[in-house]
Amino acid sequence: MHATAPVIPQRHDAARPWWHASPAVCAIFYPYLLKGFHANVNAGMALPALLLALSMAIPLIGFVVAWKLGRLAHPNDAQITAKRLAWLAVAAPPIYTAAGVLLYMAGDPVADTTLWLGIWIVLAAAGVRSTVRKQSSTPAAAQAPSPRLRVWHGISALAIILLFLAMHMTNHLAGLLGEAQHRQLMDIFRTIYRAHLVEPLIVALFLFQVVSGLAMVRAHSTRPADFFRSLQLASGAYLVFFILAHMNSVFFYARRFAGIETDWDFATGAPAGLIHDAWNIRLVPHYYFGVFLALSHLVLGARVVALAHGARRERADRWSAAGIAASALAALLIMLGMCGVHLPI
């Protein structure tokens, strides 16, 4: 079930420091691009759109670098480190959101941008150093993810979809119809996913996904991966941070620390909204990629299961591509609804 895409020979991988460190270097600019967006949000369409697009390109750059490195049949330690750094850059949106929430809860001892700058300069330097020092090292031993863990990860994902995620996504899609529709549906769904025994189970399942997912991403970092596997790994890395950040925001920040209702107003950063608030703008890439990558991750998990059960690769890839496109569209519709666009029905 491992990736069987053609792999490029080792010599084509630039064991180049700039290439290996580029996702971490780009990630340094993430909060500044969002700040630029906020400063120019009323200055026409083009500049703010460009700045938001550039901020959202940072996870994409991380993905492309990890994907290219994933084409190596036998990566060495430096290349494995670079791949892991690239995945961290993919997760820049939830890492930045979590940093902002945690620092706020701690009384803002330091600005989130200062912390961000420090973290990513260190990570970029580590990427360069690792490449320079281990450039000529021999390929690392490939690790195999535990087959049992893979099966339980899949079963747990199915339980999450049935108990919570299908409702959660439908609920957010309903926001496109209007706030009232979103609230009505949430009131119904909450009777299920907030039920006495169900809610702790959902939390436990998500935490299991994080731990088992991390173990699998770690093992896969030593192996080659085709495009689809690369997206599965990158989305998994994003979700590790997204799930922890999101659950911290809902359970600890909102419900315990601030004592606020985790409803439509909370999700959309009311009254200022997501677009016109200097802090809230970070939630746009955070949520967009959260939905897009969570749905894509499920599509890609289904692809692995289908291939293991004898599905033809071209067919599985075609369906996966369609599923990924549908995930991107669903994320866009949800974000439009949350940013105030409502269908006139």
Contact positions vs ligand HEM (CB under 6 A): 165, 168, 172, 186, 190, 193-194, 199, 202, 206, 239, 243, 246-247, 250, 262, 266-267, 287, 290-291, 294, 334
Tell me the residue nearest to ligand HEM as measured from the CB.
Answer: 262
Please state the closest distance from residue 232 (CB atom) to ligand HEM, in A. Answer: 14
Please state the closest distance from residue 171 (CB atom) to ligand HEM, in A. Answer: 8
Residue 187 tokens, joined: 């009131």
Please state the closest distance from residue 66 (CB atom) to ligand HEM, in A. Answer: 20
Between 153 and 246, CB nearer to ligand HEM: 246
Q: Spell out the residues 6+ positions from residue 282 whose beta carbon is closer than 8 angstroms to its own.
A: 31, 34, 93, 96, 97, 100
Please state the closest distance from residue 291 (CB atom) to ligand HEM, in A. Answer: 5
Question: Measuring CA to CA, how many Å separate 235 from each of 72, 141, 228?
Answer: 20, 24, 10
Separation between Cα atoms, residue 54 and residue 57, nearest integer Å: 5
Only one residue has tokens 């608030």, namely: 277
Between 202 and 275, CB nearer to ligand HEM: 202
Are 288 and 92 within 8 A, CB to CB? no
Between 113 and 248, CB nearer to ligand HEM: 248
Question: Measuring CA to CA, how many Å separate 44 from each of 37, 39, 48, 230?
Answer: 11, 12, 7, 37
Please state the closest distance from residue 48 (CB atom) to ligand HEM, in A. Answer: 20
Cα 199 from chain centroid?
Answer: 23
Separation between Cα atoms, residue 295 and residue 164, nearest integer Å: 13
Are 136 and 77 within 8 A, CB to CB? no
Separation between Cα atoms, residue 174 and residue 264, nearest integer Å: 11
Between 120 and 292, CB nearer to ligand HEM: 292
Please state the closest distance from residue 84 (CB atom) to ligand HEM, in A. Answer: 21
Beta bridge partners of 8: 72
Residue 285 tokens, joined: 């890439």
Please state the closest distance from residue 220 (CB atom) to ligand HEM, in A. Answer: 20
Are 98 and 115 within 8 A, CB to CB? no
Q: What are phi and psi of 165, to 5 degrees?
A: -65, -40
Please state the closest distance from residue 239 (CB atom) to ligand HEM, in A. Answer: 6
Beta bridge partners of 72: 8
Between 120 and 253, CB nearer to ligand HEM: 253
Between 120 and 289, CB nearer to ligand HEM: 289
Only one residue has tokens 């997501």, namely: 274
Between 159 and 247, CB nearer to ligand HEM: 247
